[in-house]
Structure formats: structure tokens, C-alpha cells
Structure 1
């Protein structure tokens, strides 16, 4: 289910989802009140929620539905890269926080991960972002670190899957998770981070 007050945005997201195997849009809404009513009717597995709505916020919507739809998982899809909003979304029970600048394929990956039960943001992520933590990879799993290194080498998802001996879908899930933990939106940003980190390490070793 998609809750956004801009019809063009809803239509664009719906097209991406409907083209993705195994996914379909069961309802749309443009306000908190409409979202509550329709969600209780269709009981969606996953709900994409904008933060700014005409009669309230996406936080209000998620909070209102937590008791009546405990199995519905929420993804905040917003234009605001704001730490306070991120913390509020976490408190309201959101499983992921995604900026609208994200690519369509990445939205599908996030939906797939969240519907499978994964949570792509946590209290440590919020705390680290607020503190401006020096190491955004601190919370990565060993597998996610390997995938990050291979992204830095310029490998595609298929090449990474072959190198690690796992399914390409597994690689996509790792990438979705590591991007969220690092506070990034695209794999190109992850590649740039690896490149910059390696340059810094080389300079430190060479004494420059």
C-alpha cells in the first residue's frame, strides 16, 4: 500500500512495484485518515508512507495502525534526510527509511527485504548519524563488509555473487542492508566511500 499526497509519486511507485515479480499494489491513499481507513480494509503486508501528509504525518499514520495491524510493516519514503524524523520513524515502528531520490529497483529491494522480516534501520544507526560517527561500517556484518569491498572493486551484483558463492538475491539484500547502516542511498556512494577510504589509508601509510 502506498500513502503519499502526490498522485504522480504514487503512480510512479506503483508502476515500479507492479512490474516487480511477486509484488502488487493493493491500495493507495493521499492522507492519514484515508490511509487508516484503507489499510484496515486491505491489511497490506508492507506500507510505503510519506512523512508529510495534508492532515498529519506518516508517523501519525504508523502509530494509529500499530495496534490494529501489528503484522503490517512500514517503510518511510520521504524527501527529508533528517535525523529527528528518522528517530521518530524508528519509534513509530518503521522498518526502513528511504529517500525519494532512490532508484526504482532499490525501492523494490527494500520492500522485498522488509516483507521478509528484515529491519533496515535501528537505534544504533540513528545514534551514529546524530553523533557523526567516524566509522559508518561499524555495524556491518562480515558478509556485508565483503560485499562492500567488492563493490569498491567495481564488481556487479552477479560478479559478487559468483565470487562469494551465494545467490544474486542474497547480494542484493546485503547491499540494501549495508547502504541503510552506512546512511547511504546508492551503491555508487558506497563505491565512492571505499575509494576514498583506501586513498586515506594509502596517504597515512605513505606519510602524506
Structure 2
């Protein structure tokens, strides 16, 4: 479902989504009230929401829908590259914060990833967010730290699973979580982070 007060923007996004395999736009809306009403009716798997709307903000929709439709995941698509807006979106339950400068094909990729349960951030927002934290691994669990260390050693998900004695799906879940906590998008970024901090004060954990 797409919520944006500009019809041209809605139609452009809808065309991109409808052309993508396995996805379709089930509803559109141009206001907070209309967005909440239609979302409740169609129960979309993913909502793509603009921040600035005539009768409120996309955050208002996220908060309202999160209670009524806990399984619906939300993506904020906005022209505002702003830390406060990002924080508000994440607090309201957004799974991704994407700037409108993104290419059409990338929007489809973000929607597909969020539908699959992932949490993503726009690359520029990620860079700025990371710069504001002394230690991006501060919130990692011991298991996530072990997985991060083994990623840095060049191990595949299967090899990590064998080393830790857990299912490969468990490893994938740990990677999804640690990437989100560290403000990263790809596994290769995590490997690069470990490589660049081997001589820092960060201490990886081993069995």
C-alpha cells in the first residue's frame, strides 16, 4: 500500500511495484485518515508512507496501524534527510527509511526485503548514524558478537552455524539483527568493519 499526497509520486511507485515479480499494490491513499482507513480494510503486508501529509504525518499512520495491524511492516519514503525524522520513524516501528532520491528499482528491492522481515536504512542515513555512535556494536548480544567475529574471519553462514553448533537459519537471523543494530545494510560491510577494527579496543567473543 502506498500513502503519498502526490498522485504522480503514487502512480510512479505503483508502476515500479506492479512490474516487480511477486508484488502488487493493493491500495493507495493521500492523507493520514484515508491511509489508516484503507489499511484497516486491505491489511497490506507492507506500507510505503510519506512523512509529510495534508492532515498529519506518516508517523501518525505508523502509530495507528501498528496497533490495529501488528503484522503490517512500514517503509518511510521521504525527501527529509533528517536525524529527528529518522528517530521518530524508527520509534514508530518503521522497518526502513528511504530518501526519495532512491532509484525505482531500489524501491522494489527495499519493499521485497522488508516483506521478508528485514530492517533497512538509507545508505546516507546509515553513514551519518554510525558516525554518531562511538561503538556500533554496543547493543549486540554475545551470540551476535560471535557471529560478527566469524564473518570477519571470512566464514560462510553454513561454516558459522557448524562452528557455533546452531542452525543456519539462526545464523541468518543473528546477521539480520546485528546489521540493523550496527546501521549496516550488507554482510560485506560487517566484514569490512571487523577488518578495520581488529586493533581497536573492541573485543570479539569466542566460545
Structure 1 counterpart of 2:156: 156
Contact 2:51 2:59 in 1 (8 A): no
1:29 aligns with 2:28: yes
Q: 1:37 to 1:72 in 2, by over 3 A?
A: same
Structure 2 counterpart of 1:171: 171
Structure 2 counterpart of 1:139: 139
Q: CA deviation at 1:66?
A: 4.5
Structure 2 counterpart of 1:206: none
CA RMSD of aligned residues (A): 3.8
Structure 1 counterpart of 2:115: 111
1:63 aligns with 2:67: no
Secondary structure of 2:36's counterpart equals helix
Contact 1:136 1:181 in 2 (8 A): yes
Separation in 2 of the partners of 1:25 and 1:192?
36
1:83-107, Cα deviation, whole Å (9 max, x unpaired): 211221134x315234477797776
Contact 2:184 2:190 in 1 (8 A): yes
Q: Given the two structures, how large is their TM-score scaled by the length of structure 1?
A: 0.65
Separation in 2 of the partners of 1:83 and 1:135?
18
Q: 1:194 to 1:51 in 2, by over 3 A?
A: farther
1:185 aligns with 2:185: yes
Q: Given the two structures, how large is their TM-score scaled by the length of structure 2?
A: 0.65
Q: CA deviation at 1:167?
A: 2.6
Secondary structure of 1:76's counterpart equals strand
Q: CA deviation at 1:165?
A: 2.7
1:132-181, Cα deviation, whole Å (9 max, x unpaired): 22111011111111111122122232332233233332222211111111
Q: 1:82 to 1:10 in 2, by over 3 A?
A: farther
Q: Which runs of 5+ in 1 are unaligned?
A: 19-23, 122-128, 202-208
